[in-house]
Amino acid sequence: MTTHKVLIAGQWRDSDATGTFQAEDPRAAAKINENYPVSSWSECEAALDAATKAFAQLRQLPRETIAAFLETFADRINARSAEICELASRETAYPVEPRLASGELPRTTDQLRQAAAAARSANWCIPVIDTQTNIRSFYAAIGPVAVFGPNNFPLAFGSISGGDFAAAIAAGNPVIAKANSMHPGTTRLLAEEARAAADESGMPAGTVQLIYRLAHADGEKLARDPRLAAIGYTGSRDAGLKLKAAADSVGKPIYLELSSINPVVILPGSLEERYDEIVAEMTGSCLMGTGQFCTNPGLVILQKGEPADRFVDSLSEKFNAAPVGTLLSESGQKGLAAAVETLKNAGAEQICGATEGGGEGYSYANTVLQIDGDRFLANPHVLQTEAFGNSTLIVKTDSLEQAAKVICSLEGNLTGCIYSASNGNDDEAYDQLVPDLRQRVGRLLNDKMPTGVAVTAAMNHGGPFPATGHPGFTAVGIPGSILRFAALQCFDNIRPHRLPDVLQDENPCNAWRRVDGIWTQANVTELATA
């Protein structure tokens, strides 16, 4: 059995590997018979040098070349869609339809095309021109970026195809992709298309590079290396915090997306009004993708009483009746089991599920746990343990005041939802709870479950620590997500012909710019004479 090659400096080459690993077929609960290399530090060195060279060349290229690359790549992914989705399905157990072929893949190519449009129009880089002082600034490419993608979105968050990749490239940076070990084959297919697209569109060799796995120590060394400018990481909290510590120690931006339990508050009036709908929405959102979504609702806050008891019963019935999905990996199954055990040990009562197996391959029964507000508040830290998968914890609170306390005990999360009655009966409760919830989440929702993260300009897929590493940035949404991989550059008294084109008086690319406090697409000279 040969070992797959890595993509370094524009070439697929034999890895200078320190070992190999195999992906899993989660449905078969077995290894897939293909070897992928664990790269040595020398391979990181080669990738860093190639990325450094690529970056110097990228800075000289017209924005159009970057846009063309992203679009060509999207076209090539479309053309190879069947093969990519088939392998992704084998490595993740996600169904080809509807999840991969008509869901995640179009989302991925749409994201690449949105990034292309942003790169072409420069609408992401916030050009600011102060004519009186002749000082101008914008956000510019930061340098080589390493992307560590998660296990749960092999395409749309994939290391060499997803949101971080698209954002880093759109800003003008080369990317060193570290594949997620759960789907190296899918990442390899995507990297083949990325590399071919880079060649076709005239991007420098070394713009897109791929390694599959690194020893933890080498990952941290990479994070500290001065040739690397920034990092995007989506995954487990432990590994992410180690990379963050390494990056922080050298003052390097690292954008993390870590755990999130996404609290959902269901106020009594809404339950009275839309009981069946809310049960159905919650079941769908909790079990979608076997619960393996960053925005999976892992914590539900209800007011104690008959309607809440009935809601828990109905939810358990639905959970019991729903098919048990396959989880991404053996470690995913074990991790979920361990998290549920932790929650139970901290006082959560098992309503349904909470046993391993029950589905095809790696699986865990659809699980509902519940706990009283006072018990939750006795141990809020442990009771916020993320149970990544098809498990949800219901907290039943005595009073609105207690619900407020539960909310105030929460760590940072990606999302927070409040369901309330449409007739205004819950408005007072809403007003009392929302300020504290608002400060603890990146995205606040009304009457809507948190799964489903639209790739739209106003999206924030981010939030306070530990959901992410900085509450000012989003991982989804263009143009906003691009700013993560950019540095603010100011030009003071720079001779006109030496300015970047988007900061010159003329504005041939029609970029939106803030000139003397006014957002405009006009030339500076037109404004002066207006």
Tell me which residues in 429-468 interact with its own copies (CB under 8 A): 430, 434-435, 438-439, 442-448, 454, 456-460, 462, 464-466, 468
Residue with Cβ nearer its own copies (190 or 383) = 383
Residue with Cβ nearer its own copies (190 or 483) = 483
Interatomic CA distance for residues 8 and 63, integer angstroms:
24
Stretch that binds its own copies, among 12-20, 129-137, 178-186, 398-406 (CB under 8 A): 129-137
Tell me which residues in 13-42 interact with its own copies (CB under 8 A): none
Let me know if 294 is a catalytic residue.
yes
Residue 399: count of CB within 10 angstroms of its CB: 11
Residue with Cβ nearer its own copies (92 or 385) = 385
470 binds its own copies (CB under 8 A): yes
Stretch that binds its own copies, among 137-145, 156-164, 190-198, 383-391 (CB under 8 A): 137-145
Question: Kind and range of the H or E element at 138?
Answer: strand 135-141
- What's the min distance (Å) between Cβ of 457 and its own copies? 5
Residue 276's SS3 state is: helix
Tell me which residues in 43-62 interact with its own copies (CB under 8 A): 56, 59
Residues pairing with 299 in the sheet: 263, 393
Residue with Cβ nearer its own copies (217 or 250) = 250
Catalytic residue, candidates 294, 352, 386, 417: 294
- What's the min distance (Å) between Cβ of 278 and its own copies? 14
Let me know if 220 is a catalytic residue.
no
Tell me which residues in 505-524 interact with its own copies (CB under 8 A): 512, 514, 517-520
3-class secondary structure for 195-231? HHHHHHHCCCCCCEEEECCECHHHHHHHHHCCCCCEE
Query: In the block, which residue shows the tokens 């929460």?
Result: 410
Q: Residues near 97 by Cβ (< 8 Å), separated by ≥ 6?
A: none
Residue 89: count of CB within 10 angstroms of its CB: 21
Contact at 8 Å (CB) between 451 and 297? Answer: yes
How many residues contact its own copies, by CB under 8 A? 74
Q: What is the token pair recorded at 23?
A: 């992906």
Interatomic CA distance for residues 63 and 69, integer angstroms:
10
DSSP, res 472: T
Tell me which residues in 384-423 interact with its own copies (CB under 8 A): 412, 415
Q: Which of 1, 306, 381, 498 binds its own copies (CB under 8 A)?
A: 498
Tell me which residues in 290-329 interact with its own copies (CB under 8 A): none
- What's the min distance (Å) between Cβ of 465 and its own copies? 3
Catalytic residue, candidates 24, 43, 193, 257: 257
DSSP string, 190-201: HHHHHHHHHHHH
Contact at 8 Å (CB) between 168 and 200? Answer: no
Interatomic CA distance for residues 507 and 515, integer angstroms:
11
Question: Which amino acid is located at 311 in the chain?
Answer: F
Tell me which residues in 251-280 interact with its own copies (CB under 8 A): 251-253
Site string for its own copies, 141-160 (x = CB under 8 A): -xx-----------------
Residue with Cβ nearer its own copies (52 or 350) = 52
Contact at 8 Å (CB) between 208 and 12? Answer: no
Catalytic residue list: 257, 294
